[in-house]
Amino acid sequence: MKNKNKPLSYPQLHHQNHTLFLFFFFCILLCYLVPSNGIEENEAASVGYGYRIGSVSVDPSGKSLTAYLVLINGSTIFGHDIQNLNFIASFETKDRLRIQITESDHKRWEIPQNIIPRQTHSPHPHRTLPETKSSPSQSKTTSSYFLSDPTSDLILSLHNTTPFSFSITRKSTKSVIFDTSSTLFIFKDQYIQLSSSLPKLTSSLYGIGEHTKRSFKLVPSDTQTLTLWNADIGSANLDVNLYGSHPFYLDVRSSSTSIQSHGVLLLNSNGMDVIYSGDKITYKVIGGVVDLYFFAGPLPELVIEQYTELIGRPTPMPYWSFGFHQCRYGYKNVADVEGVVAGYAKARIPLEVMWTDIDYMDAFKDFTLDPINFPLDLMKKFVNTLHQNGQKYVLILDPGISVNETYGTYIRGMQADVFIKRDGVPYLGKVWPGQVYFPDFLNPASEVFWGGEIRIFQDMLPFDGLWLDMNEISNFITSPPTPSSTLDDPPYKINNAGVLRPINNNTVPATSLHWGNITEYNAHNLYGLLESKATNAALINVTGKRPFILTRSTFVTSGKYTAHWTGDNAATWNDLAYTIPAILNFGLFGIPMVGADICGFSGNTTEELCGRWIQLGAFYPFARDHSSKDTIRQELYLWDSVAAISRKVLGLRYQLLPYFYTLMYEAHIKGTPIARPLFFSFPQDIKTYEINTQFLIGKGVLVSPVLTSGAVSVDAYFPAGNWFDLFNYSNSLSVNSGKYVKLDAPFDHINVHVREGNILAMQGEALTTQAARKTAFQLLVVVSKSGNSSGEVFLDDGEEVEMGGKGGKWSLVRFYGGRIGNKVSVSSQVVNGGFALSQKWIIGKVTFIGLEKKVKRLKGFEVETTDGTNFNGNPVIKESRSGNFLIVEVSKLSLPIGKEFKLQVNF
């Protein structure tokens, strides 16, 4: 991707002594005269005084609790307080509690239901527990009102103190997961402040993005904000707001008796600062309402399942998108791009998808081709050749539409009246093509317009996917604010870009209007989501296939429509390491198809860095090499050593394609991420909470990359169990309790291990996913000490719009294995086996690993199918002994994967 912004620079102090003296004197004076944006408890009264409860009622159905809140005292800091508020609490499911706080007398901005559908009524019964009164000796009259659900572990307590507060408690443990009692609640038109105390020693927080962080686990800071305001700031910049906004966090709580997790979402699209100090989390929001959701968990993966049940399950990705992708900003012409494809083929490195950045466009205008360098006839020939070779083509679109009276897209957009307006006329911005208007994706007519342009271009050039960039919205100019407007210049300054940058900088002004008189101030963070939603619908309508969309800007629910990459990183070792926390975060946010620019986008990469990066990037859910035009070329075949590494690691990725794709199915059905933190599988192991340098693919494949220059070993953490090297099953290690192990990691090797108890369905290596899908399946059964192993594989054509839908053409095969006495076996259960049988997919080999060496000599094996039929082939069985374990391989099988079977080996 492209980003005109260099890494952010920060103000520097002059070195003259007298200037320093005046500077510090002025700062001290400001401390006395000007209230800080970060308000401590003893200073909060200058901003607000909180609310008291006027009345409390329960819905006649018993399904919700409503309180009427009255302002205690007013303040004018950051604007006038809202006098009267409604507090509504309801259980939407047994695992989801919602709290809404909004103005009683006027309707405020909330995200429209047609963008993010939400429930308004709960089907579950509720009861209000008796209020608990204080003793007469207390100086203040207090009482608490309770809302609970018989099936839920959560209880809401509404405290009738002055000021009021509320808390959420678990029934099972009596632990408090959210508690506002130690801070004031402030609600002004353009400033809302809400805090919850946290148990500093037992609470581990993850989420609140998008930011580039050194650590996956949030690090407490009293001074650093987690700012949410979508901006074109390169992801090479640490600890500042980036392209997306996700006000959701996962809290993993550890104690001596239990490990329990919960999630919290503040569904609000306005700009905000979030301050996490370890013992408290504070939201400072510049508009909208309080719309809080609490997800009960208690396991981390259940929290994400409950979260995505609300926001929408991730959209399924086409099978081919799990192959390897190549892109660069700066490809010169068709011949250049063709040369890249040929380079991969010559080096025998898998290449699934070729991309072009804005270079293909005519003067950087969307839906056009450069007539000199990327003429239509040559591009059609190029794309057709890709398709003949089983490869795909993806191109970029930016939202800005060039203001050009001879440009068809502009003409049709003006006729449809679909552009964002300011002062009654389309807002004039500037991006790559020069002056532009921006489509208003809140306008219902925009979907017809946008879909029509995609259809016209698809009819001209049959591309396979779309890449949406610059959609924060990025703008090369900063328009002056409307005089005296508190939208363009709100009273509270969020920490935009880490330097309190005005919110209008390099984007569409906040006073601009969308359809329905919705201000950009309120809808700014939604733009990338809305463009992705419209593009998803358009591609389904135009192609009739499962769409592939990659977007830079995201918001809550973006995963329903699109994949994401982490933006403009840099070719540095630090940036390589930062990609792991970034990718894990987007799994929490409900966007499991995520990756980072392999080898780095900006700056020149090196042979060593690129080699190590493809080792890691080969196991990103989305794997793409991408670089900027002002850098050296970094296609994987350019260095012999990197080419050899790429063949090795992408070879394993392509063997694991059925596993990746099945994890996509699981994500689509349940919301579970593809790339996962270790604590998802090992929540009882609190050491996993701190790990930033490793991750799991699914539940049991552990990736432990080298992230520092010159290293030839890696200190990798292994939770308890037996682990086996996926590059060489003879290499294993056994851990009784979690510990760090120093592993050899020469330049040509990355450590990837599978844990006991897993069954992986794999296929053969190939240069395209199409070719790989034609190879026989191989089952890897990793025998567990407990005796039970399991796995599954989801099979369909890889491009049907719905994944696993009713009446669809798909199969799901579950595998169960283990050892009982002198027998080890694997069997299958098949759902919708007809599709797999129609494709004539077979299992050609079954390998058992993890068998303890003490087993006796092999006596033979037997195979049976549920219908009693025999299978074709002349099976061969062999064993090998290495280390502490035995490997048994049964090959030359020809078992139809769509037919249930049981294979048993006897000792």
Catalytic residue IDs? 469, 472, 568
In sign, the C-alpha dihedral spanning 196, 198, 203, 208 is: positive
What does the DSSP assignment read for 723-787? EEESS-TT-EEEESS-EEEEEE--TT--EEEEETTBEEEE----SSHHHHTTSPEEEEEE--TTS
CB–CB of 580/693 below 8 Å? Answer: yes
SS3 at position 583: helix
Q: Enumerate helices (H) and strands (E) in the chain, giving the number of each.
A: 14, 53
User: If phi over 0 gives left and psi between -120 and 50 gives alpha, with beta otherwise, what is residue 549?
Assistant: beta
Question: Measured between alpha carbons, how far is 328 from 2 in angstroms, rounded to an integer?
Answer: 10
Question: Measured between alpha carbons, how far is 657 from 323 in angstroms, rounded to an integer?
Answer: 8
Question: Measured between alpha carbons, how far is 546 from 543 in angstroms, rounded to an integer?
Answer: 8
**Cα-based angle 730, 733, 736 (whole degrees, multiple of 5):** 150
Instruction: Give the burial string for 52-74 (b: 16+ CB within 10 Å, else e).
Output: ebeebeeeeeebbbebbbebeee
Question: For residue 538, what are its two tokens?
Answer: 């358009």
Whose tokens are 């013992």? That residue is 279
Question: Measured between alpha carbons, how far is 650 from 617 in angstroms, rounded to an integer?
Answer: 9
How far lies 54's CA from each of 84, 163, 164, 319, 414, in Å? Answer: 9, 11, 10, 57, 52
Question: For residue 819, what are its two tokens?
Answer: 């050892």
The strand pairing partners of 760, in sequence order, are 780
Burial class for 249, CB neighbours closer than 10 Å (0-12, 13-18, 19+)? buried
Q: Give the largest Cα separation in the chain, rounded.
A: 94
Q: Which of 81, 101, 80, 79 is nearest to 90 (CA)?
A: 101
**Cα-based angle 114, 118, 119 (whole degrees, multiple of 5):** 130
Instruction: Give the burial string for 679-698 (b: 16+ CB within 10 Å, else e).
Output: bbbbbebbebbebbbbbbbb
Question: Measured between alpha carbons, how far is 874 from 861 in angstroms, rounded to an integer?
Answer: 12
Cα torsion 542, 548, 550, 551 to 10°: value is 50
Q: Which of 269, 250, 264 is nearest to 558 (CA)?
A: 269
The amino acid at residue 792 is: E
The edge-to-edge listing of strands for the beta sheet with 165-170 is 127-133, 143-148, 154-159, 165-170, 176-179
Question: For residue 279, what are its two tokens?
Answer: 């013992």
Question: Measured between alpha carbons, how far is 649 from 42 in angstroms, rounded to an integer?
Answer: 56
The edge-to-edge listing of strands for the beta sheet with 563-565 is 594-595, 563-565, 549-551, 465-468, 392-397, 353-356, 324-326, 623-625, 597-598
Strands (E), 140-217: 143-148, 154-159, 165-170, 176-179, 186-187, 192-197, 203-209
In sign, the C-alpha dihedral spanning 692, 697, 699, 702 is: negative
The strand pairing partners of 165, in sequence order, are 159
Question: For residue 396, what are its two tokens?
Answer: 């970029």
The Cβ of residue 818 has, within 10 Å, a number of other Cβ atoms equal to: 19
The edge-to-edge listing of strands for the beta sheet with 701-704 is 675-676, 695-697, 701-704, 751-755, 721-725, 732-735
Please tell me the total number of residues recorded for the chain in this structure: 907
